[in-house]
Structure 1
Amino acid sequence: LQDVLSSAESLIRYFERIRDDINFKSFYTKILKENESLTDKPILARHRRPSKRYQSSSDSVEFSSCEEFYRQQYMESLGTVVNMLQNRFTQKNFKLLCNFEKFILYAANNSLDDSNDYFQSIMDFCYGDIDVEKLKVEALMIVDFFQSVIKTHQMNIKQITKISTICEIFNSCEVGKEMLKEYHKLTKLYLTIPVTTATAERTFSTYRLKTAILSTMTQSRLNHCLLPHMYKEKIDKIDPRQIASKFRSSNEKRQHFFGLIL
């Protein structure tokens, strides 16, 4: 997440820097030159006065040239992009997730004491989910446990820089999940908190399955239809013959009945 935040901040600074008349003039001239052999020169559309019911107290803007029109489009587009990036990556929860990531990675490489500022962020965000006092005790031995596992399993890891590496270490030594229970729980919480809502929005869009014609569909059947629809890429990879074979081999009666079919 720190890399994502740094990239977003770099983009914001870049877009703000090029949002001026000098950069627009250069951009506009370059586009006109590249499009000379591709299309006609831009023509300013005829100004149309909006209907009275759509008119506001301010008069509509009338441009004197194409360059002036596209200048406004250029400035508005960059302003919209900057505002969207700032709104998305300056949210309080996103910064808390960044602190979580810093703590998880820092604790995996260094021994922490009670005075670390990260514990307060964890208390504020995971109140009731994480026992911070136990986490403070675990933080003293996390780095020793990881180094021991890396040495025992001969992992080629010099420094832990990714959350996936921590998951790999935990999976290679199951006792660590109980030994560092709160730290492991914190890692799982970090991995399950969605950074975006795109997946949830796509899920809600699949509710179009239940149309007026299919309004008698029960909730149970709706759930059964939604899951394959949402994960259709994974469903396509499943071999139905393996499922049928497993279903058939579950008891002798099915083997006798479906034996000739399969």
Structure 2
Amino acid sequence: MNLNQQSALVLFSGGQDSATCLAWALEKFSCVETVGFDYRQRHAIELQCRGTVREAILAAFPEWAAALGEDHLVDLSVLGLLSETALTRNVEIQITANNLPSTFVPGRNLLFMTAAACIAYRRGIKHIVGGMCETDFSGYPDCRDDTIKSLQATLNLGMDTRFVLHTPLMWIDKAQTWDLAASIGGKPLVDLIIEHTHTCYLGDRSHRHVWGWGCGACPACEIRAKGFDRFTTADLGLRRDL
């Protein structure tokens, strides 16, 4: 199958990581589409943030307007029905018996990438971009580099094509993710991510912090807050002028 070498599909949740990946893709490819997933997540507010972030990017960076293409929203409610996790049920966030946090949704990224590949196949898109990271993360096995490499091989075999799966955040921590956004879009992009993206597992957008909106106590908020603090700490040599 012929795939457009300059096209990309970004797994876009509306969060910090996926917004950074979207900006990364818009700098790199001439045609970029986005895909989000409704799996009946507890923090479904992120689905509303997706459109807001896309609109804010177009307003702040009109030079990306020609590259930003269609948005796709996929109903994966079956994932919510199959899983018993703190992201799909109103239960406490804690470490489970297998040493994984109860926020781990088994198979989530595997399904996300597979669904994205189905869309990419139909749309003739070669590059698929995800925000998976195994540096600053909660230990999810489907965020590991080995998982993504194996999945790329499986998808290409199963669809007889040559997708390329990109994970630009895989080997950087959260502070470096903030720094990557700054290197791509400067203060406007950092401010956009702070104000419009959503990371909080509890879906809290009633508390505003220097790093953005959220409860401030869940694992996602803690990782984001600590990364922002390190990003803005002068002795780390990061972009402290922002």
Into which bin does the TM-score normalised by the smaller protein fall? under 0.3
More helix by share: 1
Q: Which has the larger radius of gyration?
A: 1
More strand by share: 2
Using CA pairs under 8 Å that are at least 6 residues apart, name the structure with larger relative contact order, 1 or 2: 2
TM-score (norm. length: structure 1): 0.22
